[in-house]
Structure 1
Amino acid sequence: MTTENSASTESSWWSIPGRFLRREFLPVLTDLRLAIALLLLIAVFSISGTVIEQGQSPAFYQANYPEHPALFGFLTWKVIQVVGLDHVYRTWWFLALLILFGTSLTACTFTRQLPALKAARRWKYYEEPRQFQKLALSAELETGSVNSLKEILQKRRYKVFQEKDGILYARKGIIGRIGPIIVHVGIVTILLGGILGAMTGFVAQEMVASGDTFQVKNIIDAGPWANPQVLKDWSVRVNRFWIDYTPSGGIDQFYSDMSVLNNQGEEVDHKKIFVNQPLRYRGVTFYQTDWGISAVRIRFNNSPIFQLPMAALNTNGRGRIWGTWIPTKPDLSEGVSLIAKDLQGMVLIYDAEGKLVDTVRTGMSTQVNGVTLKVLDVIGSTGLQIKSDPGIPMVYSGFAVLMLGTVMSYFSHSQIWALQKSDRLYVGAKTNRAQVVFEREVIDILERLSSQPEGEQPKTTQSITSNPN
């Protein structure tokens, strides 16, 4: 007796959390208002992650989001870094929003959508005239038969069930009940793909001179489960970088001819990339995002060819130029400065006092400080953004499933019952959407059903209400 009481007490204690979850927590979790609020929060923080540059250095945020004056009166670099707005998609609170939203959708699917689908597939015949009164659309006819109605419904692609004479049930559009479930599956798949990408992906940036080979090392942002080891056994060579210019001198497009090399230096992939046409290899994507000037090749008189690096100069936001200093005497007592603003081959030469000495194009020579200076080439560099996001295939699949579910949801689930009793035919119908269109369809069915030879008019009673059931 004592053992039984103890087991009963223990069972009742275990049932308390279950009852709490079912009665208190689950209704809140599946509430549509909660789902809408979570979706709005996710949208707002996603917008902030798009507007505020992600993964930059602290100096960048200090320069662009100072404390005085603060943007919008509150947004400073300290707020950005404390809250995590510099890496929104990897913060614990954003991932928590995604998980909570996905949990809400999943709970709604199992507690509402699946039972609704099960109820739609489970049907019963109406065997009493009073049962038709609760339907949104019902009619009582003195002519017509269940068999005639069956033929009309089959022509309209209804699935008809008839086990007894004088009783009929028909339906179509059951796919419309499946649609919301597919939509939820698609959204949850997208959320899982986003979480996977945030936890395992990384972003890197490289500025590579034309002709150089590099390995991806400059990773600026990475998830806690990212695996940069996938980059160790191969490298990339920029065979050539060039820019196409418009007739007016503006940039039309810039290109990078790139090769992927294995550890033995053999080419395993090759592609010419430009904006919106990246190179993809082993889940890593190389985007063409920027350009620069890395070096200039020159010759003094008959000397060997020298390749000197060029650096970007500060113009206070008035364009981009690159420059370098070239000694014209062995003791470095004299020299000239070379300035270039693009890859069209124009180079400006300034003396030590900052005066313009000459303007030359690549391949041309000029006399400076008693020597012949020939500018052979201006070498460009390509700016690459490198991303790895293992969640992208899942996100794309989720969008495809979401679109499929959205289309399926537009199908109306329509049901029609019929009962022939004595000399009367009772017909009732309901649908879950497109009420007006369905009402017209039912009226047309009734008119066809009750049509009689000329001169004989049937007596018909139709009852149309706003009852959602």
Structure 2
Amino acid sequence: MRARLWDFLGSMRLAISLLSILAIASAIGTLVKQNEPMVNYITQFGLFWAQWFAMLGIFDVYNQAWFLIILVFLLISTSVCLIRNTPKMLQDMRTFKHHTRTNSLRHLPEHSDWTSNESLDVLTQRNVRALQKHGYQVRAQENEAGVYIAAKRGRFNRIGYILTHLAIIVICIGGLMDSELSIRAQVHLFGKQPQANALSFAQVPTDGVLSTHTLSYRGDVKIPEGAVTDVVSLAYDQDHYLLQDLPFVLRLNKFMVDYYSTGMPKRFASEVTVQDKSTGESFNQTIEVNHPLRYKGVAVYQAGFDDGGSRLQLAVYPLSGTVAQPANIDATMYKNQPISFAGEPYTIEWRQFKPINVENLAEASGAPIDTTSAFAHAMSPASKVKTLKNVGPVIQFVLLDKAGQATEFRNYMVPVTLDGASVFLSGVRTDPNKDFLYLRIPADAEQSMGDFMRLRAALANTDMRTKAIQLYAKRMRETQQNNPLKGDELEKSLTEILNLFAQGGLQTVGESLQTKVPADQRDAVAQTVTRLLEGSLWELLQTARQADGLPVLVDNPDTGKFMRLAVVGLSDAFAYGSPVFVQLKGFDQVQASVLQMTRSPGQFWVYSGSLMLVLGTLAMTFIRERRVWLHIKPNGAVQHLTLAMSSTRRTFDYQHAWKTLCHAINPNMKHSERTSEYMPTKGDHEDDHA
């Protein structure tokens, strides 16, 4: 039973089967992104398949128990094969395999027989020199039956087989060393508890911190300027993590980043101080991409950068009511900000701040505004050509109402140019798996949103609306003598249009037209209503500016474009999903460096095994093992010669080598004589049995 198990473990069929399974698993691990949030896999594969793939470990292939077990069995199988066959191969490399029976040579596919009248000594010396000239090692034996010459070349071909098998063993050992076996062992055998709550590092209990003797690990840590860390967070699974204690304390003194003219980062580096925990010694070093810090078996790589808790100055504009002026507040990144509006409590969770933000901004397609879906149009700027441009600082935050409903926003600090107009952008989404939809607020002549917010507040003021309607009606009567609306009809129509727009934007106006206007007249009436709405809002803006002591605006193409965008922006604000608009006014940046901490003792062995695999493959491919035998048997005054050759691979170049060798040994022999098929005779059988 033990012998059968030994043969099974060392069999080629088992090794090939294990290699095939590992190759398929590795291909899956390459094609499917590993250790992503579960929601990403649900989005990509659907809930049903994502659950099945998670059960099979597809999303973390290399740390699955079945993968590691297969790796161990492959290691055992290859080791058994190497133990069984290496002594034989080494012995075979040293021996010349003397054939003492001429008949056995005649059974080889490549053999030849001929006779010669030269003496035995002359034939022996000449043929030994000929074989040596062709790169063969030669051994000659003489006895009463004649001279037996054995030659070989390419003996190191067997080293290729040994190296390839040894390479698989070394790579498997390296892979096991760099796996999470040591982490899993500490959890299952030494009482370490993966953490589920998002606590600060200082609050994590001791059973959630791994020993400094952990064999291998990989994790990321974000360090703000001036901060220190001596631990790194390791993802245990989709919902849990562990802290890894480091053998040193790392302090980020300064983070440096350089940019291209487009705003893309060109170089970023971290100036750090490392202090050894055991000795107290410290030193300084700069970490850059491709220039990691290596200390006590831990490699620290520059992985990226992020915000480290910048201080923000913000203007909070109300999107309802008659107040146009914003409330100024201060905030700190990653610290929740409670606010109150109209007696309702809200909480802002600051998620991201980027002082330099490169976006693909291109000229929009120029499609006309569809008033029935103005919100969708304004939130989806179209672009044909990619144009990378730095659009300035951006803040990203989540607004929570008292019921816990979350809406995520992405607001730009400075206006950007889209469709030939300068606008403030604010992205909004309620589902983190979907893209942002963008609200456009037109910038005024001072590149601010003052006029827009002034117009919004005036639209909510009944008195201002009435005054603007009267001014616009008066102007229309003065400039349009043939106006079909007479007396109070004009004021009533303008009042109804503005009231509808103030209640729900263009969508409310459109719904009213659908119910009151016949279908064949709607297009013409819609054009008239749009013109009256823009004119009324123009007078409303002028009225609001005068109320604030500002000069009236000049009616020109720029202000006309502003008013058209303002109409769409005011309409879209009803679907914005927030009672306020948060604008970034200033900031004091605090940068943070994202560093990757790795310990991979198996890396050297994997690289060594890969080199051995390459060398072994080259040895098997280009080193051809060939063995040659020449028997010279005297028969009176005539010498009978038998030449034979064998090789592990009978390739085309092997056949050519056989012909060349035959010509070198006996130039006068015909080709047909060199490759004659041998049919044993009765005497041969007797000689063989003897």
Kept in 1, the 8 Å contact 2:113–2:673? The answer is: yes
1:269–1:425 CA distance, 2 compared to 1 (3 A)? farther
Correspondence for 1:388 among 573, 594, 599: 599
1:250-269 paired onto structure 2 within 5 Å: 250-263=264-277, 266-269=281-284
Correspondence for 1:45 among 8, 22, 25: 25
TM-superposed CA distance for 1:130, in Å, is: 1.6
Q: Which residue of 1 aligns with 2:651?
A: 435
1:66-465 paired onto structure 2 within 5 Å: 66=42, 71=45, 74-76=48-50, 78-112=51-85, 114-119=87-92, 121-143=94-116, 145-164=123-142, 166-198=147-179, 199=181, 200-221=215-236, 228-229=244-245, 231=246, 233-263=247-277, 266-274=281-289, 276-296=290-310, 308-309=332-333, 311-313=350-352, 321-322=394-395, 377-410=588-621, 411-422=623-634, 423-433=639-649, 435-451=651-667, 461-463=673-675
1:167–1:261 CA distance, 2 compared to 1 (3 A)? same
Given the two structures, how large is their TM-score scaled by the length of structure 2? Answer: 0.50
1:261–1:434 CA distance, 2 compared to 1 (3 A)? farther
Kept in 1, the 8 Å contact 2:219–2:596? The answer is: yes
TM-superposed CA distance for 1:430, in Å, is: 0.7
TM-superposed CA distance for 1:394, in Å, is: 1.7
Query: Residues of 1 paired with 2:630 and 2:295: CA distance?
Result: 63
Query: Residues of 1 paired with 2:89 and 2:676: CA distance?
Result: 24
1:162–1:245 CA distance, 2 compared to 1 (3 A)? same
Q: Counterpart of 1:450 in structure 2: which amino acid?
A: N
Which one is further off, 427-436 or 166-175?
A: 427-436
1:299–1:292 CA distance, 2 compared to 1 (3 A)? closer
Matched, 1:34 2:34: no
Kept in 2, the 8 Å contact 1:142–1:460? The answer is: no
Kept in 2, the 8 Å contact 1:289–1:383? The answer is: yes
Unaligned regions of 5+ residues in structure 2, if any? 182-214, 315-329, 335-349, 361-392, 399-409, 415-423, 427-439, 449-583, 678-690
Aligned-residue sequence identity (percent) comes to 23
Write the deviation string for residues 363-390 of structure 1: whole angstroms up to 9, x where unpaired.
xxxxxxxxxx996752322222222122
TM-superposed CA distance for 1:187, in Å, is: 0.8
SS at match of 2:630: strand
Write the deviation string for residues 68-118 of structure 1: whole angstroms up to 9, x where unpaired.
x77178531x33443334433222211110111122222322344543553
Write the deviation string for residues 233-267 of structure 1: whole angstroms up to 9, x where unpaired.
41112222233322222233432233322348753
SS at match of 1:162: strand
Query: Residues of 2 paired with 1:235 and 1:307: CA distance?
Result: 30
Kept in 2, the 8 Å contact 1:39–1:101? The answer is: yes
Which one is further off, 136-145 or 291-300?
A: 291-300
Kept in 1, the 8 Å contact 2:178–2:603? The answer is: yes
SS at match of 2:644: strand
Kept in 2, the 8 Å contact 1:291–1:381? The answer is: yes
Higher helix residue share? 2
Q: Counterpart of 1:147 in structure 2: which amino acid?
A: Q
Write the deviation string for residues 129-181 of structure 1: whole angstroms up to 9, x where unpaired.
32221223111133472321110111222111112162100111111012111
Query: Residues of 2 paired with 1:321 and 1:250: CA distance?
Result: 15
Write the deviation string for residues 416-444 of structure 1: whole angstroms up to 9, x where unpaired.
00111132211111111263212222322
Write the deviation string for residues 335-386 of structure 1: whole angstroms up to 9, x where unpaired.
xx99669xxxxxx999xxx9889989xxxxxxxxxxxx99675232222222
Kept in 2, the 8 Å contact 1:171–1:415? The answer is: yes
Kept in 2, the 8 Å contact 1:412–1:434? The answer is: no
1:340–1:79 CA distance, 2 compared to 1 (3 A)? farther
Kept in 1, the 8 Å contact 2:158–2:620? The answer is: yes
Larger radius of gyration: 2
Query: Residues of 2 paired with 1:158 and 1:290: CA distance?
Result: 59
Query: Residues of 2 paired with 1:201 and 1:151: CA distance?
Result: 58
Write the deviation string for residues 184-241 of structure 1: whole angstroms up to 9, x where unpaired.
011111101111211231122211223322222322249xxx9945x1x411122222
Query: Residues of 1 paired with 2:86 and 2:69: CA distance?
Result: 24
Which one is further off, 119-128 or 87-96?
A: 119-128
Q: Which residue of 2 aligns with 1:334?
A: none
Unaligned regions of 5+ residues in structure 1, if any? 1-16, 301-305, 326-336, 342-347, 361-372
Q: Counterpart of 1:204 in structure 2: which amino acid?
A: G
Instruction: Name the Cα RMSD after superposition.
Output: 4.0
Query: Residues of 2 paired with 1:167 and 1:227: CA distance?
Result: 72
Q: Counterpart of 1:44 in structure 2: which amino acid?
A: I
Kept in 2, the 8 Å contact 1:55–1:221? The answer is: no
Q: Which residue of 2 aligns with 1:10?
A: none
Which one is further off, 286-295 or 191-200?
A: 286-295
Query: Residues of 2 paired with 1:172 and 1:307: CA distance?
Result: 80
Write the deviation string for residues 302-354 of structure 1: whole angstroms up to 9, x where unpaired.
xxxx9943643499xx99943699xxxxxxxxxxx99669xxxxxx999xxx9
Query: Residues of 2 paired with 1:464 and 1:359: CA distance?
Result: 98
1:56-67 paired onto structure 2 within 5 Å: 60-61=37-38, 63-66=39-42
TM-superposed CA distance for 1:55, in Å, is: 4.5
